[in-house]
Amino acid sequence: MARLKFATVWLGGCSGCHMSFLDLDEWLFDLAAQVDFVYSPFVDAKDYPEDVDIVLVEGAIANSEHLDLIQKIRQRSKILVSFGDCAVTGNVTALRNPFGSAEPVLQRCYIEAADIRGQIPQELGIVPPLLDKVVPVHSVVSVDVYLPGCPPDANRIRAALEPLLRGEKPQLEGREFLKFG
């Protein structure tokens, strides 16, 4: 039987979901026996590969790089899991949305709050332009499974992954598996 291609992605978020993923502890050995990790912050891969079976996407869509990457991820992945509250709702990453656009936030952070020589970083190819509004993953591409939590704990992550590894859709029910925050 061919091994599944497995990926994790970190977009606009804090990496807390990936830290919870590492809390799977010894079960990570079981997971590694069933899948090939083909893309992740834990893997030194530069381009998102073709034919990924399962991808966990952490974080919201906050800049142009995220927007391009999430579209590529959707095209190249069979099952896309919106991984954590930022990916599911925008959560903390979207707190800048009430300001109307990215510009007031950039002005406040890099000009008004600067100690010396305030300057908004705008180096093309280095700093991706912020989108005016931070959006959850499902606002841009279709999502197959939602895994809420800030971050989702290891038990919830495992409860989602085990059925997916068997080719089944997870049945995440009850407060233990559906609670946000």
DSSP codes of every residue in 28-74: HHHHHHHEEEEESTTS--SSPPSSEEEEEEESBEEEHHHHHHHHHHH
Q: How many residues are recorded in the chain? A: 181
- Give the chain's mean pLDDT: 92
Question: Rounded to whole angstroms, how far apart are CA atoms 33 and 3?
Answer: 9
Report pLDDT digits (tens) over 129-160. 999 999 999 999 999 999 999 999 999 999 99
Q: Average pLDDT of 70-75?
A: 98
pLDDT category, 181, cuts 50, 70, 90? low
Q: What percent of the chain has pLDDT over 70?
A: 94
Report pLDDT digits (tens) over 29-47. 999 999 999 999 988 888 9
- Fold type of domain 4-97+130-173: Rossmann fold (3.40.50)
Q: Average pLDDT of 117-127?
A: 83
> For residue 128, is the peptide bond before it cis, meaning its omega torsion is within 30 degrees of 0?
no
Structure confidence at residue 175 (pLDDT): 65
